[in-house]
Structure 1
C-alpha cells in the first residue's frame, strides 16, 4: 500500500489522539486541536469558494499568528499552494514576487495595507485581497480574512493530492542572480522533513514550541508540522521583542524554540533577565548564522537550557544537520564538547549529506580539507519556480549542490567555513549581494560597485558597498543609501559606502570580492 505523504495526515493524527489538548496559543486565543481542525475545514471551504484556479497560489503577509497554523494545513487540504511573504520587503519586491508566483489571493495583516497598495498597480494576477486584524475600508480589498473563514462551513472536504510530489508551498529566497527565486516544496518534502525533525530533536507530545523566528521563513515554520505530528503545543510570538519573549517563556512554560544568534544576544542583554522563571526551557535551536562556543556557553548559562545548532536551506525544507553530541563523546572534555556542539552538526535521518571536492569525490574526514556540501533526500525541493536552467544547475547527478563550503571531521561533524554564494546573513535574514548591487547600478552616478558582508556587533553581518563613481559624479554616501532605501527593504540597504577610484579585478575583468573582504571585512575595520 502506498499512501500519499502529505501534511493532512499530520493534523489528522493530532486531532485523533489529542482532540481537547491546547494546540495553539496566540494572545487571548487558545484553541484545541479539534478547534484548529474546524478552522482548517473552514479555510479549505473558503478557498474553494473563491473564483480561483486549481492549485492557485495564495500569498500570506502576516506576523506569527494562528492564521499561519490554519493556512499551512488549509493549503494542503484544499489543493492550493501557500506562498508566505517576508514582512520586511519593499513594494517593488512584493510586486515582483506576487507577479512571478502568479498569486491569485493575498491574505495580509492590516499593518501592510500601505505597502501593498503601493505594489497593487503593478500586479497582474491577484483577484482577491483579504485583510486581517483591520477593517475592509478600501475599495480594492475584497473583505476581511475573518469574515472569509468564519462564514465558510466547517464540514470536512479534504483534498488528497493525486501526486505527493505536487507543489504545496512556494517560498522565495535570495539568489545570486539578484531577484529572489521561488523554491517549490512538495507534499512529500514537508511530510518527510517532519519525520526527520521529530527524530533529530526527539520531539514528543510534551513539547511546547515557541514560534519566535518568523513563520514566513522555513527556519521556524518547519516546526509547525513536526510539533503538530506529535501533538505538541504552538505558542505564537507575533513580533520579536526581548522582554515579551522572556515573559511568554515564563507564562506558557515553553520547552523549546528556534532563534538566530542576534535574537539571543538581545535576550541576554535584557536587564533583570535572572528575574524570569525560565526553568521550563529545555533547549534552543540556533540557526541562520554561526555562534561561537563562548557565546553558546553564555546562552546556556543565562537561559539555563541546552544549545543545539541546526543547519538547512529553503531548498531542503530545510533541515540537514543538527548539532547533537554523540554518546561516544559524552566523556570528552567540556571545551571539546562545546566545539562539537557549535559545529554545523551531524546529518539528520533521511538525509544523505556529502562534502565533495571539485571532482565530486568525498573530501577526507580530517576537519581541514574544504569541499562543497551536497545532499539528497526526500526533503530536497522539486525545483526553482519557472527556472529550469537554475534547477538543473543546482541538482546534478541526484544531489543538490548547496553552494556552502565545509569540512568534515573524523566523527562526521560538518563545519561550514564559507559560502560559495555571495549571500550576506544579517540578523538571520539572507541578503543577495547581487540584488543590492543591481539597485546601486540603477543610480546614474555609479560606474561599478560590489557589496560585501562586514561584521556587525548587533546583526552579525551587514552589507557594505564599495563604489566607483562616474567621472565628475558627485553622489555621496548618504545619497546612495537613500537611493537604495527607495527600492529595497531596510535590512538590505548598505550601512556604509566606501568610495574607490577603481575596484580590484581579475584578469578577466571580474571584481575581486575576496580582496575587498580581506581589506574591509576583517573584525575591527
Structure 2
C-alpha cells in the first residue's frame, strides 16, 4: 500500500485496478471501509474469507488504519482458528458471510459489507495517515497452519517495499499488465501479487478459486498476461492452452517436473521459476526459463539485494540454504529474533554463475544406513513416466536402515502401471539403496489450499 493506491487514484483514476474496478473505485472503497474500521481501538484484527474483491478491499482498509492483519487459512477448523486467535491476542475477526460458521463464539465477528454498499459512497473523506514505518507490521501469516503447530510470520512494510521494488526489476512491467490471482489472498503468494500490482500501478483479476475453463477464457481473450501458479495447476492447464499473450508465469511452491518445463518450452510459455517463502514475502530467487534454458534445473538467481549463502557445505558444495536481505523477516512473533540470516531448512547449492539449486527440504531428507537420499531425485525420475500424474517420496522407519523411501503415485485418468513396472524402471537408474522399499498407488495425493502436496498425510497403512 504505502500510498501506492492513493497515488493511483490521483494520477490514473480510470485505470483498472481489481477486476472491473478502477483505481478510483478501489481507493474510494478502501477509504469507506477504513472509516468504519478506525472506530475499533484494537491494534490487531484477523480476516477470514475466500478470494474476492471485497476481501482485498478489507485487507487494504485494515492496513490503512494501521491494524496488524492476521490472514486466516480458510481450511482451518473452528478449534484451530480459536487457537491461533488466542495465541496472537486477536479478539476481532472480519469475515465473509460464508465463513461465519468457522468462527468461535468467543470473538467479536464483523461481517463484510456488500461490495455494492461499499462502492456506493461516492465522496469519502480521506483523513488517513498513508505513511508507514518499515518496521510496522502490515500482515501476519501463520505457517504450517494445518498441522496444529504453527509459527507466526510478521510481514513488515520494509519487507514488502523491498520485495515489490526488486520483483519489478526482475519481472519488468507494462501498462497492459493484468495479473491473475487464483492462489489465496490469505497466502503470501496471493497477497504479494496484490502489493506488486499496486506498486506498479497495474491490474489484477481475482477469482474466488481456480476454475480451469474461466482461466483458459481469460488467457485466450488476452485479458490477463501474468499468472502465479503451482506446478499441479499448470500441469492440468498447459495441454488446453492453444493461444496466449502471456508475459509471465511465476511458477513455484513445490518441485517442478521437467516434463512440465519441456511442454511449456514447446509452447513458448514464459515460465519464471521462483523460490521463496512466507518469511521472505514470497519470491526471493527467480529466473526466466526461456532466457536461460540451460539452467532449467535451477530456481534462478537471487533478486536484487538478496543473498544466498550455503552453510556447512560438503565437498560438492551442497549444504543448508541461508537467505539474507531486506525481504527477510526479523523473526517469528513471540520467538527469538533472527540475526538477519534465515536458515530455510532447504538443502542445495549455488553454481559458478550464481544460480541456486534446491535438492530437498531438510525435513524431507531420508538418511538410510548413513546414505543421504533426496526425494526430489526419485520424484523427478518417476515424473518422466508419461502415465504418472503426481508422486511423492517420504521416509518410513526401518529397523535395519533407520529409514527407507516409500513412493506414493497417482496416474492420469485412464492411465496405469503396476508397482513392479515402476520399481523395475527406477532400478535401472538408481543405486539400490535409493529404490523405494514401498510403493502405494492412490487416486490422488493430498494437497493443501495452495496446491502443495501434504507429505505428512501420506500413510502406507491407510
Q: Structure 2: how far apart are the matches of 1:73 and 1:13?
A: 14
**Counterpart residue number, 1:240:** 210
Q: How many residues align?
A: 395
Deviations 1:28-81 (A, max 9, x none): xx21101111111112211112x332x222x22222211243234323321111
Pair 1:178–1:114, CA change in 2 (3 A): closer
**Counterpart residue number, 1:421:** 363
Q: Please, which of 195, 198, 201 is the counterpart of residue 231 of structure 1? A: 201
TM-score relative to the length of structure 2? 0.75
Q: Please, which of 142, 149, 156 is the counterpart of residue 126 of structure 2? A: 156
Q: Is structure 2 residue 303 aligned with structure 1 residue 313? A: no
Q: Structure 2: how far apart are the matches of 1:299 and 1:422?
A: 28
Q: Is structure 2 residue 299 aligned with structure 1 residue 344? A: yes
**Counterpart residue number, 2:110:** 129
**Counterpart residue number, 1:287:** 252
Corresponding residue SS for 2:195? helix
Deviations 1:415-434 (A, max 9, x none): 11111235999xxxxxxx9x
Return the structure number with greater relative CO, CA threshold 8 A, min gap 6.
1
Corresponding residue SS for 1:112? helix
Q: Please, which of 9, 25, 35 is the counterpart of residue 35 of structure 1? A: 25
Q: Structure 2: how far apart are the matches of 1:179 and 1:282?
A: 38
**Counterpart residue number, 2:76:** 89
Q: How far off is 1:108 after superposition?
A: 2.2
Corresponding residue SS for 1:498? coil
**Counterpart residue number, 2:434:** none
Pair 1:491–1:301, CA change in 2 (3 A): closer
Corresponding residue SS for 1:405? strand
Q: How far off is 1:9 after superposition?
A: 2.4
Contact 2:3 / 2:130 at 8 angstroms: preserved in 1? Answer: no
**Counterpart residue number, 2:102:** 115
Q: Is structure 2 residue 342 aligned with structure 1 residue 372? A: no
Q: Structure 1: how far apart are the matches of 2:138 and 2:275?
A: 22
Q: How far off is 1:349 after superposition?
A: 0.6
Q: Is structure 2 residue 330 aligned with structure 1 residue 382? A: yes
Corresponding residue SS for 2:165? helix
Q: Structure 1: how far apart are the matches of 2:455 and 2:346?
A: 24
In structure 1, list runs of 5 or more residues that go unmatched. Answer: 1-6, 133-143, 331-336, 426-432, 434-449, 460-483, 485-489, 501-525
Q: Please, which of 46, 51, 66 is the counterpart of residue 36 of structure 2? A: 46
Contact 1:372 / 1:401 at 8 angstroms: preserved in 2? Answer: yes
Contact 2:225 / 2:245 at 8 angstroms: preserved in 1? Answer: yes
Corresponding residue SS for 1:401? strand
TM-score relative to the length of structure 1? 0.67
**Counterpart residue number, 2:380:** none
Corresponding residue SS for 1:497? coil
Q: Structure 2: how far apart are the matches of 1:416 and 1:202?
A: 25
| Alignment of structure 1 residues 66-77 onto 2, 5 Å | 66-77=53-64
Q: How far off is 1:176 after superposition?
A: 12
